């Protein structure tokens, strides 16, 4: 189904919404360079990423039938201060480079927000992630009234020679309820939880002692091409390390295949098993890098951060990301309560 949600006949502009993914939409995203003042990159295998989305709404702006901007919305439910609310997650708003600076991004941000709010009833939230250095995108979403709920950090685990572990086990579907219970208890004081929707047992792996789960984690395989990284980190990662012969396999020329890790669970006192689990998964996928997205205010982050080593790459990178939110129907006191909670970054929300 395809529907027109906005039209400007004088400018021959149309914004359409569709639940069906088309090749032009994917190609548009794969040639987009993301970032501004900080790290810049292109994202590969976008078809795979978008096809995994549940309840997608693909938005596109055409001008005289030419595609000039796209965005994706994900309809979901999220938990805030112990209650579930309707939500829309906004992902990958992109504008054709030659059209940037002419209001297309702002128009898409405005119409995407308007569409999402119209579909969520009297109370809900509309949110997305914007890197702190991406000032252009921050200004765009701020213009439509979205505010920062907080920040998370992109943490990189790197292993030159990752080791497997025979205890690694994929989760059975019959265990899904147990995994959701463990995660819900561990993140009870966090905002933006959605385990009923995001836990996928086919991608969820555990380490156990007998029948007891010591550590659990969910994965997704990703691929990006690094275009630019400022400062000393960029000099080392982009220009120097790929030239070292025995490191070329680990640091290919700008192309990075990696795993994203989320829905992390660790039994109290066994947090080190998370690093064992991540390393084993890297070994089985024959990869060297993984990314973890955590709010440094989170007790889970504080427990894990002292339990193991992420590796040398993490020490070279610091990528803070804003969670930019529009609240519908919330009082100031309710928003203040939500802002005090550490943030949970969902596997349902592509990053």
Q: What is the largest CA-CA distance in the chain?
A: 68
The reply to whether 155-316 shares the fold of 2-152+321-339 is yes
Paired with 307 in beta bridges are none
Distance between CA atoms of 137 and 341, rounded to whole angstroms? Answer: 25
Going by C-alpha positions, the residue among 86, 52, 89, 85 that lies closest to residue 73 is 89
pTM strictly above 0.75: yes
331: tokens are 């009082």
Going from N- to C-terminal start, the domains of the chain cover 2-152+321-339, 155-316
188/182 Cα distance (integer angstroms)? 10
pLDDT in tens, 149-166: 999 999 999 998 999 999
pLDDT tens string 247-305: 666 666 678 899 999 999 999 999 999 999 999 999 999 999 999 999 999 999 999 99
Name residue 207's beta-bridge partners.
215
The domain defined by 155-316 folds into: Aminopeptidase (3.40.630)
pLDDT of res. 35: 83
Checking if the pLDDT of 239 tops 80, the result is no
Calculate mean pLDDT across residues 185-210.
97
What pLDDT score was predicted for residue 73?
Answer: 98
Which residue would you say has higher pLDDT here, 306 or 242? Answer: 306
Structure-block tokens of residue 199: 């836990």
- Using alpha carbons, select from 292, 297, 312 the residue that is nearest to residue 343: 297
Multiple choice CATH, 2-152+321-339, 3.40.50.720, 3.30.200.20, 3.40.630.30, 3.40.50.10300: 3.40.630.30
**What pLDDT was estimated at residue 333?**
97
How is residue 343 written in tokens?
């943030």
Residue 241 pLDDT > 90, yes or no? Answer: no
Residue 119 Cα distances to 74, 106, 122, angstroms: 12, 20, 9
Q: How far apart are CA 10 and CA 13, in angstroms?
A: 8
């Amino acid at each position: 189904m395809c529907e027109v949600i906005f039209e400007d006949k004088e400018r021959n502009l149309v914004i359409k919404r569709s639940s069906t993914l088309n090749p032009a939409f994917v190609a548009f995203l794969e040639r987009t360079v993301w970032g501004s003042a900080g790290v810049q990159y292109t994202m590969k295998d976008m078809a795979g990423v978008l096809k995994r989305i549940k309840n997608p709404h693909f938005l596109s702006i055409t001008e005289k039938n030419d595609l000039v901007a796209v965005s994706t919305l994900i309809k979901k439910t999220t938990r805030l201060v112990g209650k579930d609310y309707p939500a829309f997650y906004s992902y990958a708003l992109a504008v054709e480079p030659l059209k940037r600076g002419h209001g297309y991004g702002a128009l898409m941000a405005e119409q995407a927000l308007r569409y999402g709010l119209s579909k969520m009833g009297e109370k809900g939230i509309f949110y997305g992630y914007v890197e702190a250095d991406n000032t252009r995108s921050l200004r765009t979403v701020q213009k439509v009234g979205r505010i920062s709920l907080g920040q998370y950090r992109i943490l990189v685990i790197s292993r030159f020679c990752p080791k497997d572990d025979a205890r690694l086990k994929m989760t059975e579907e019959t265990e899904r309820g147990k995994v959701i219970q463990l995660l819900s208890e561990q993140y009870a004081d966090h905002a933006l939880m959605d385990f009923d929707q995001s836990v996928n047992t086919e991608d969820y792996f555990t380490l156990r002692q007998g029948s007891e789960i010591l550590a659990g984690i969910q994965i997704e395989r990703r691929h990006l091409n690094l275009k630019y990284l400022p400062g000393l980190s960029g000099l080392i990662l982009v220009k120097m390390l790929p030239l070292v012969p025995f490191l070329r396999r680990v640091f290919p020329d700008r192309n990075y295949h990696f795993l994203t890790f989320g829905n992390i669970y660790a039994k109290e006192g066994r947090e080190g098993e998370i690093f064992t689990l991540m390393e084993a998964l890297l070994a089985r996928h024959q990869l060297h890098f993984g990314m973890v997205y955590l709010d440094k205010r989170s007790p889970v982050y504080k427990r894990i951060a002292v339990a193991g080593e992420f590796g040398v790459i993490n020490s070279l990178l610091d990528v803070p990301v804003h969670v930019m939110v529009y609240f519908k129907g919330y009082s100031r006191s309710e928003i203040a309560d939500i802002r005090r909670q550490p943030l949970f970054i969902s596997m349902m929300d592509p990053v």
